[in-house]
């Protein structure tokens, strides 16, 4: 298709999910994006799994909890979300009247996909006494069917906030659910979903690497399988891993999560050693293919054309708001 007008760009963006236009390679994208942010009163929220250059132009970099808290607070007119679709949806639910831009609408999530809302509704019907605790990595439809949302930073504390006698469903991540169940010592009815990035770590190869680097601590995200978590010296969300690695006196780490986090780990801790944990295959499979769809060029074009814009029905926003609000309020009460 020949692109000749803004209308063409909007039509093509709808079709492809991102703005397609050749970007002049001599442009200083850092300066251009900074100017667009200033003139449009836009804020860029980026997850730790983004490429280093995207983290460098972001106004805020964080884990899923930090990003939702920041989205709830911002007074910017436009939020550009450098992350994946469910994160942008959360920002929109918290800011129904703001423009939320997603540089590439195709940036999904295997956890979200593993739990289709219609199948979950049937599952939930079978357990009318259970309350539903859903990991934020899910669709807005699933959030709307949940009693409370959690992230990897607050899942243990929020599950503990329910009376022990209250039966709970935990969706959609079975690995995080099993970890939370173990720490809280209460049974959780788990949905059978998983993150394609964290499931791929190989515990045997990690054990070999630990033997080669006995000085290194294994730090792992709770989306990893139990066999990997069993080897870990510390388990936490991306923010938790970064804080742990930044403690004085700790020097060397094998990192079992998406390697985007290594950028901040190295920036904040010059002189410390960070070794990415090996996966099952000799490939870069631990890069999240969804997160990595975002590029500096797409962010520039997205801000320039204010597209693709995330649109959600007011009805869905209203249904999904309360479980997210509960999470934010409980996190504030718990000092998280």
Residue 286 in contact with ligand 13P, rule: CB under 6 A:
no
DSSP state of 63: -
C-alpha–C-alpha distance, residues 275 and 255, integer Å: 6
**Shortest Å distance, C-beta 84 to ligand 13P:** 6
> Which one, 119 or 243, has the nearer CB to ligand 13P?
243
C-alpha–C-alpha distance, residues 124 and 146, integer Å: 10
C-alpha–C-alpha distance, residues 190 and 200, integer Å: 20
Residue 294 in contact with ligand SF4, rule: CB under 6 A:
no
C-alpha–C-alpha distance, residues 233 and 66, integer Å: 24
> Which one, 107 or 206, has the nearer CB to ligand 13P?
107
Residue 44 in contact with ligand SF4, rule: CB under 6 A:
no
Residue 196 in contact with ligand SF4, rule: CB under 6 A:
yes
Identify any residues that bridge with 42 across adjacent strands, giving them in sequence order: 78
* Binds ligand 13P (CB under 6 A): choice among 237, 279, 294, 331: 237
DSSP-derived 3-state class of residue 74: coil
Residue with tokens 């080669």: 212
Please give the backbone phi and psi of residue 106, each rounded to the nearest 5 degrees, phi first. -80, 0
Residue 137 in contact with ligand 13P, rule: CB under 6 A:
yes
Residue with tokens 């780490």: 253
Range in contact with ligand 13P (rule: CB under 6 A) among 10-18, 51-59, 147-155, 269-277: 147-155
- Among candidates 202, 200, 219, which has minimal Cα distance to 272? 219
Q: Rule CB under 6 A: which of 214-233 touch ligand 13P? A: 223
CB 121 within 8 A of CB 145: yes
The pattern of x and - marking residues 69 through 88 that bind ligand SF4 according to CB under 6 A reads ---------------x----
90 binds, among ligand 13P, ligand SF4, none (CB under 5 to 8 A by kind): none
Residues that bind ligand SF4 (CB under 6 A): 49, 84, 109-111, 137, 195-197, 258, 288, 290-291
Residues that bind ligand 13P (CB under 6 A): 63-64, 137, 151-153, 195, 223, 237-238
């Amino acid at each position: 298709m020949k692109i000749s007008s803004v209308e063409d760009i909007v039509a093509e963006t709808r079709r492809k999910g991102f703005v397609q236009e050749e970007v002049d390679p001599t442009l200083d994208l850092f300066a251009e994006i900074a100017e667009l942010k200033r003139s449009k009163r836009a804020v860029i929220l980026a997850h730790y799994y983004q490429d280093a250059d995207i983290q460098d132009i972001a106004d805020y970099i964080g884990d899923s909890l930090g990003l939702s808290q920041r989205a709830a607070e911002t007074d910017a007119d436009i939020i550009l979300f450098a992350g994946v679709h469910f994160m942008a949806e959360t920002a929109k639910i918290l800011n129904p009247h703001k423009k939320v831009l997603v540089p590439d609408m195709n940036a999904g999530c295997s956890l979200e996909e593993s739990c289709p809302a219609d199948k979950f509704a049937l599952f939930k019907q079978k357990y009318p006494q259970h309350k539903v605790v859903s990991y934020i990595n899910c669709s807005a439809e699933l959030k709307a069917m949940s009693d409370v949302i959690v992230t990897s930073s607050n899942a243990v504390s929020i599950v503990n906030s329910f009376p022990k006698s209250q039966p709970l469903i935990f969706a959609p991540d079975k690995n995080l659910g099993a970890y939370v169940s173990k720490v809280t010592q209460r049974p959780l009815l788990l949905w059978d979903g998983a993150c394609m990035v964290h499931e791929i770590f190989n515990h045997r190869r990690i054990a070999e690497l630990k033997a080669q680097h006995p000085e290194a601590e294994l730090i792992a995200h709770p989306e990893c399988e139990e066999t990997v978590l069993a080897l870990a010296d510390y388990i936490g969300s991306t923010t938790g891993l970064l804080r742990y690695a930044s403690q004085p006196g700790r020097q060397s780490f094998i990192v079992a999560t998406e390697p985007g986090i290594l950028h901040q780990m190295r920036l904040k801790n010059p002189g410390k050693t960070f070794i990415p944990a090996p996966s099952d295959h000799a490939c870069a499979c631990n890069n999240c293919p969804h997160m990595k769809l975002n590029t500096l060029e797409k962010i520039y074009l997205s801000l320039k054309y204010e597209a693709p814009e995330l649109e959600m029905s007011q009805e869905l926003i209203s249904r999904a708001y309360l479980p997210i609000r509960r999470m934010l309020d409980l996190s504030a009460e718990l000092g998280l």
